[in-house]
Every structure is written in C-alpha cells, then in structure tokens.
Amino acid sequence: MIQFSPQTQTNIDFAADLFRQSKHAVVLTGAGLSTPSGIPDFRSTGTGLWSSDEPMEVASLHTFRTHPEKFFQWFRPLANQIYYAQPNPAHTALAELEKAGRISCIITQNIDVLHQKAGSTGVIEMHGTMKTLTCTQCYHRVDAEFHLASFVEKGEIPHCPKCGQVLKPDVILFGEQLPQAAWFKAQREARQCDLMLVAGSSLEVLPVAGLPMQALDRGAHLIIINNTQTYLNVRADVTILEDVAMIIPAITERVFNG
C-alpha cells in the first residue's frame, strides 16, 4: 500500500467523503490523466507537444486542408503512442466509480479512448476521438482500427474507401468548433452536478476550462488533482498536486471501504 504524507491522506479522505455524500458527481479529465499511460500532454515544459511544435502550423484545420501530409507527419508519433497505450490505474478507478453509480459521467478533453478501454461508458468527448475517421469529401465515416494500424506501422495516409479522398481523424483541430451535442451535454452536467472532480487538467483551454466555474456557481463542491496549479485551486474544496494514477485509486478505495 502506498504511504502518503499526512496532509495528502487527509485530502484523500476528504475527497472520498465528498463522493460518498454526492448525489450527482461529474469528472472532468485532461491530458495529465493519460501521461502515466505514456501519452504526452501538450503544455508541460520540455516534454509537452507544444514545446517543439507550433500548434497552428501542424494541428490546425487549415494545415489539414492545405497540407494534409504535414499534419499526418506530425500526428504519426502521437497516433503511435495512442494506438498502443493502455489504461492506467486512474482510468480503471474512475470506471469502477462509474459502475458503482458514484459518478454520473466523465467529460474528457482526451482523444485516446482510454476511458472506454478501462470500462467507462458515460464519456463525453469534448475534443473528438481517435475511434473514427471521416472523409473530407463525401463525409463517409469509417472505424479507425484498420486505417490507424496501417498509418502507425507504415505511415500510409488514410484514404476514403468510397471516393479516395483523405480521411480526417475525428479529433478537433485548431480552427474547428467543439462538437455541439457534446458541449451542450457537458454544460448540462456541469450545471446539475453537486460535485466535480477535475483530474489531470491545467484548465487552460477554453471553453472546457470554464465548466468547473459553472459547477461552482451553482453550489457544487470541487476537487482538483493535477501536477500543477490551476486558476481554480483557490476555489476548490480539495486540491492534491500529485500523480493522478496514485491519488484517484486511493480515493476510490476509501469511497468503497471507508
């Protein structure tokens, strides 16, 4: 069993109490939840994806439309990491909480499908998903599995089986709007919840970063678990600046076993 500092253990116990008292808990996850699974985040100094690349040059809708090969060249290492990644203990613990009825849904900024691989079903994907690709010409949608494997292993840019045009991964690029249905559902959950757990998100990317404030404005409790500070740490009931893959399972264990 992991031994935490007295202050961390107190925070874990308090967070577990909030979950036990909650009637409608919601989780918001960011890239930091998947870094223990080997997927890099975007903004960490030195290791984040934007430490070496300018996002508007490689990951924008404009770049995809005008130079898709440039986008896919940048995207291939990330796709490789996502393709082979497995859920870590934080994903598994959240799936257990969902199965037990302790959380209503997971709102995620991640595209890696690790929540679903861990067993979660109520997942709202705010920035799209790697599960599917859509043709830029005829809008035919395909499952990503076959095309992603060929792309990761051979670097082959995926093309539509119907019209031959380039297939776009169904992830949200810079210059694209968030999926409307997902955004409306996420706002509804944020406004109805009595507890929100933010895990692995620096809360720097709008509009999703504003969801915890919507919850707070309606009287919800807030737990933040992240390696770095966020703009809402001062408003949170509990803040834990440690590894999500250790802290979330510890909270889950306390929820179930007291």
| Catalytic residue flag (residue 221) | no
The structure tokens listed for 77 are 């290492």
Rounded to two decimals, the pTM is 0.91
The structure tokens listed for 55 are 């996002």
* Relative orientation angle of helices 244-257 and 6-21, to the nearest 10 degrees: 50
Helices (H), the chain: 6-21, 55-58, 61-66, 68-84, 89-99, 114-118, 144-154, 180-192, 211-217, 244-257
What residues have CB less than 8 Å from 118, skipping those under 6 apart? 87, 91, 92, 94, 95
| Helical (H) or strand (E) element with 3 | none
**Stretch(es) of the chain classified as CATH 3.30.1600.10:** 45-84+128-171
The radius of gyration computed from the CA coordinates of the chain, to the nearest angstrom, equals 19
**Stretch(es) of the chain classified as CATH 3.40.50.1220:** 1-39+87-127+177-258
- Could you give the CA distance from residue 222 to residue 212 in angstroms, rounded to a whole number? 7
Residue with tokens 């008292």: 21
Per-residue model confidence as pLDDT tens for the chain (258 residues): 688 999 999 999 999 999 999 999 999 999 999 999 999 875 544 444 544 556 667 788 999 999 999 999 988 988 899 989 999 999 999 999 999 999 999 999 999 999 999 999 999 999 999 899 999 899 999 998 888 888 988 888 999 999 999 999 999 998 899 999 999 999 999 999 999 999 999 999 889 999 999 999 999 999 999 999 999 999 999 999 999 999 999 999 999 997
- How is the beta sheet containing 105-108 ordered, strand by strand? 123-125, 105-108, 25-29, 195-199, 221-225, 238-240
- Could you give the CA distance from residue 108 to residue 113 in angstroms, rounded to a whole number? 10
Backbone angles phi and psi of 196, in degrees to 5: -125, 130
Q: Which of 91, 115, 127, 147 is catalytic?
A: 127
pLDDT at 51 (0 to 100)? 43
Q: Domain spanning 45-84+128-171: which CATH class is it, in words? A: alpha beta
Q: Is 37 helix (H, G, I), strand (E, B) or coil?
A: helix
Amino acid at 62: H
Q: Domain spanning 1-39+87-127+177-258: which CATH class is it, in words? A: alpha beta
